[in-house]
Amino acid sequence: MNEIQKTSKFKLQLSGVWKAPSPPTFHLARFAYNGKQNFTIQKWTLNVLERNKSSCFNENHLTTEIKSAGTGHSLKCSDLSVYENDSITWYKDCKNYEHETERELNFRTLTVQNSGIYTCKILISHEGTIYHSTNTIKLVVEEDAPEAFTLEIVGRHEVIETEIGKEEIFNCTGSLGYYMQEDASLYWLINQTFPEQCTGIPENEPSICEEELKKLQLGNKFYITRLLRIKKVRDEDMHHNFTCMLQVDETTQIKIVKLKKGKIQDLPVHVFTTGMVLALLFPFVAVAVVFVFLMFRVDFVLFYRNICRRDDTAEDGKEYDAFVSYLKDCVSPTEEEREFALKILPMILEENFGYKLCIFERDVFPGGAFVDDIHSFIDKSRRLIIILSQNYVSDRAIYELESGLHKALVERKTKIILIEYMPISDYNFLPESLSLLPSKRIVKWKKDKSLPMNSRFWKNLRYLMPAKPIKTKTKRHYSNLDLGSEAAQPWTEGSDFNAII
């Protein structure tokens, strides 16, 4: 082995035998020294060939690669290189090839015209000396059997189910293989008649039109495509033949599609399931809604009156909202009952809710005819509030009750509201004609539970009173009387309410 080059970093050594007239062969290696020992970096064989004076390559020193047309391929230069900045030049048939200077020569899509002998020359510069390394490849591109042109209506069958008034778009696409055929044509026919061209302006589009021809390249293959648009399917379109025709190299292919009315589709499973669940739940929801409304009907009605500011008292010719009748003479009422009739009831209804009451003892001046006065004031009142007790019918107040019943049942001018101030176990003491009312219309007073202004007692009483916007007459509150301080009771607090309007 002979040392041919040496530097402080590496050295090249070669060994070989040259026996004339055969060309010599050398085995080369590149070594490096790390301060302790030498180690091999690279080895290769150097064949010395006789130069062909009439060509840039030697027939005995080339490799052959056979590829098919339409595929992609890369030719690789020699792996021999000492430095990355070595100069690379490619030749085809001994002529400079398109100024290519990369280590690989890439062909995206091979054609027969790419066949030839490609030589890669590397100029290696080392310590002022230029070395040449070449690699020659014979590329043979074989053309496959001509690929048959194909035509299809993308994503469609020969018979298409549709609906009247629906928009339809047909995409006709022809495959041209690995080459773009410049003479290829693609167009639509409707019963052997050319359709109009689409304008691109929706309001001016014909009912049926075709778009411009488009040329595409996907991967290594070429395609042409054209769309046919049906703006709204008509009944007459069900009888047309829609033909797509491809013409290439004196060959013609056609595809025909037809329209037919589609069957009524079954409901999707999730829609059917949802509908069944809703159908099963609806009765329960309806019952729940009705139950809630019945339980809270008084609150709903009062809320509605307040929001809409409903007024049933306007222009009805009545002066009072209610005439109050209670036990007076024959049997003396308790002080609580008297205070309820003369103070608590008017204070809440008049001063807080804007009602106007007629209380005989308070509002009627003595000296008049009792019977005439009773008739007159009941006629002027929209409601008759009767504060019931066991001794009520023993008193002269029974006349007020009978007059009110006559107004309610015969003349139908006044509605009666019964307030059970003291517990009554038997209503047989009341006149039988009272049972002819739509309901007993009884509101029960429960002492401390009923005292707060927003208790169930006052809500039920307001519910039976005529609708009227709230207009308070004073800013006085419960401090004027010892009405208790309990918070408003919920619906279930036990206030009985039998009235039905």
Q: Give me the DSSP letters along 126-185.
A: ETTEEEEEEEEEEEEEEPPSPPPPEEEETT--SEEEE-TT--EEEEEEEEEETS--TT-E
β-bridge pairing 10-17 and 25-33: antiparallel
Q: Which of 100, 168, 400, 420 is catalytic?
A: 400
Q: How far apart are CA 228 and CA 187, in angstroms?
A: 9
Instruction: Give Cα 355 distance to the centre of its chain.
Output: 53
What does the DSSP 8-state code read for residue 331?
Answer: S
Task: Order the strands of the 116-126 sheet from edge to edge.
Answer: 63-68, 129-142, 116-126, 87-92, 95-96
Q: Which residues pair with 43 in a beta bridge?
A: 29
Q: How far apart are CA 114 and CA 117, in angstroms?
A: 10
Distant-in-sequence, close-in-space partners of 237: CB < 8 Å, separation ≥ 6: 208, 230, 259
142 is catalytic: no
Q: Give me the DSSP letters along 443-491.
A: EE--GGGG-STTSHHHHHHHHHSPP-----S----GGGTT---PPPP-G
Q: How far apart are CA 393 and CA 327, in angstroms?
A: 8
Element (H, E) at 285: helix 269-295
Of 382, 381, 384, 498, the C-alpha closest to 441 is 498
Q: 329 vs 332, 361, 409, 414, CA distance in Å?
A: 6, 11, 27, 25
What does the DSSP 8-state code read for residue 114?
Answer: G
From the CB of residue 398, how many other CB atoms can be counted at a distance below 10 Å? 16
Positions marked active-site: 400
